[in-house]
Structure 1
Amino acid sequence: MPCTVSTDFTAQLPLDVGLRDTASFDSFCSGRNRELVDRLKATILDPDHCADPGGHQGSQIYLWGEAGCGKTHLLQALCGLASQRGHSAVYLPLDAHQHGVQWLEDVDRLSLVCIDDLQAIAGQRLWETALFTLGDRVRERAGSWVVAGDVSPKGLSLTMPELESRLARGLIYRVLGLNDEDRSQAVRLRAQQRGLELSDEVIRYVLSRYPRDTVALFELLDRLDRASLASGRRVTIPFLRELDGG
């Protein structure tokens, strides 16, 4: 899936940036983030009721949370939903900001702009200025601007107070990690999407023996999917032990 759903805009973006096929709201275990998920979906599904706190049309939302909590998944799911509804949208991860601030040129004309990894450019005045200008232009055009970082706007150590103020002016959500029950549900949901049948016993084993952050767990499921297909075997605890050389 391309990172932008505006067909005349694709050539301006680096080819190595894209949306994961698995990134959708259906594949996201909301857990304690139900209000956030509903608000993000309403950005596309009910835009007339999504004016920002200042009364301007369009949405400005800032997401923050630790690595692996689902920020990237949510941004990409939002772009995917926009695509399905015929809206122009772009996903820009700033950890790839070596492409230069020209990466941001003209994206303000799109309906939805999703910026990931804001912390990657914190302290770089040129980038902060470019993002502040982008936010203003998106707002002027009644578009939606959704930004994610690993900490709250106040904790970003930005050199430009105007950008911090701009981010704080919109809605701010902390993306909360999953509890044990939600994590089990997330593993089961992702496994089903991969066509894997995992018993409750196998899921408990996975959660007790492997890293528990969702990124690592989903990478494990991808690995299990490939191994299961190659061997023609179901995923069982003995199969897992063999796979790990135990």
Structure 2
Amino acid sequence: MTAPRQLALDLPPLTSFSREDFLVSPSNEAAYAFIERWPDWPARRTLLIGPRGSGKSHLAAIWSDMAGAITMPAGMLAEASVPGLVARKAVVIEDAGAGIDERALFHLLNLIGETGSSLLVTANQPPDRWSLSLPDLVSRLRAMTVLTIDTPDDDLFRMLLVKLFLDRQLIVDSSVVDFLVRRIERSFEAARSAVAVLDREGLSRGRRITRALAGELLEEVLAQSNENE
């Protein structure tokens, strides 16, 4: 008789955005070092670009804590909100890209420059892929300091997987991590998907997370990571 599967609740993991939990490696160390230099920035307007899930929000949270910044999703940015943002002296705009209120961002960049406030904008893609129509805004964005986070190297990807398991309060053998490093797409989203599937299925099947279970679920892991592309 087949053992009944346990109900696995898809609860989000507890994620820490503290400085101590940020994983530094060659793929992000330049961006991290620049953030740590604040307020000694050559310019007060900085653009942080990297793939989804690459740690941009974590870096932005570190800087926000340092600078006492207010954070606003790019989709909520409007001209009426700009004066209040600038009054806070330090601002984070998260997930900028196509569809952003161009005039609002243009005025924000101008006022930041005039008042000596600081601005950090995060984005998945560079501005030339935002389909912008306001030439003056394009010019302002090109004048910003640009930081990039690259695809994770082996060491960072391994550390990331371990951290994702620990965020879910899971302890796994190093063979599981090594297997995933070799087999799944080298992206932060694929890593999150893999750990989520293993956590859910391990609980549902009442099984410890092993390399064998990871092998069984690899097809599902890859399918989920492709859906996120």
TM-score using structure 2 length: 0.72
Aligned-residue identity in percent = 24
Partner of residue 57, structure 2: 72
Corresponding position: 1:163 with 2:137: yes
Quote the Cα distance in structure 2 between the aligned partners of 1:78 and 1:173. 13
**Contact 1:28 1:186 (8 Å CA) reproduced:** no
**1:62-121 deviation digits (Å, cap 9, x = unpaired):** 122333433233223432x33xxxx53222222x44x85545451111132111222132
**Gap regions ≥5 residues in structure 2:** 1-13, 221-229
How much has 1:151 moved relative to structure 2?
Answer: 2.9
How much has 1:145 moved relative to structure 2?
Answer: 0.3
Partner of residue 160, structure 2: 186
**1:113-133 deviation digits (Å, cap 9, x = unpaired):** 1112221325xxxx2111111
Partner of residue 87, structure 2: 109
Partner of residue 98, structure 2: 120
How much has 1:205 moved relative to structure 2?
Answer: 2.0
Q: Does the residue aligned with 1:176 lie in a helix, a strand or coil?
A: coil
Q: Does the residue aligned with 2:21 lie in a helix, a strand or coil?
A: coil
One of 14, 18, 22 as aligned partner of 2:16: 22
Quote the Cα distance in structure 2 between the aligned partners of 1:159 and 1:106. 25
TM-score using structure 1 length: 0.68
Quote the Cα distance in structure 2 between the aligned partners of 1:169 and 1:203. 41
Corresponding position: 1:195 with 2:173: no
How much has 1:211 moved relative to structure 2?
Answer: 4.1
Superposition pairs of residues 1-246 of structure 1, within 5 angstroms? 21-31=15-25, 32-43=27-38, 47=39, 49-52=40-43, 59-79=44-64, 81-82=65-66, 87-94=67-74, 96-97=75-76, 101-104=79-82, 106-121=84-99, 127-222=101-196, 224-225=198-199, 234-240=208-214
**Gap regions ≥5 residues in structure 1:** 1-19, 53-58
Partner of residue 7, structure 1: none
Quote the Cα distance in structure 2 between the aligned partners of 1:223 and 1:190. 12
**1:29-75 deviation digits (Å, cap 9, x = unpaired):** 232221210111222xxx2x2241xxxxxx21112233343323322
Aligned residues: 206
How much has 1:214 moved relative to structure 2?
Answer: 0.9
Q: Does the residue aligned with 1:121 lie in a helix, a strand or coil?
A: coil
Q: Does the residue aligned with 1:117 lie in a helix, a strand or coil?
A: strand
Residue identity opposite 1:66 in structure 2: P
Rg comparison, structure with higher value: 2
**1:149-206 deviation digits (Å, cap 9, x = unpaired):** 2333344332122222222223112221112232112212333344322222100222
Distance change (3 Å), C-alpha of 1:128 and 1:242: same
Over the aligned positions, Cα root-mean-square deviation in angstroms equals: 3.1
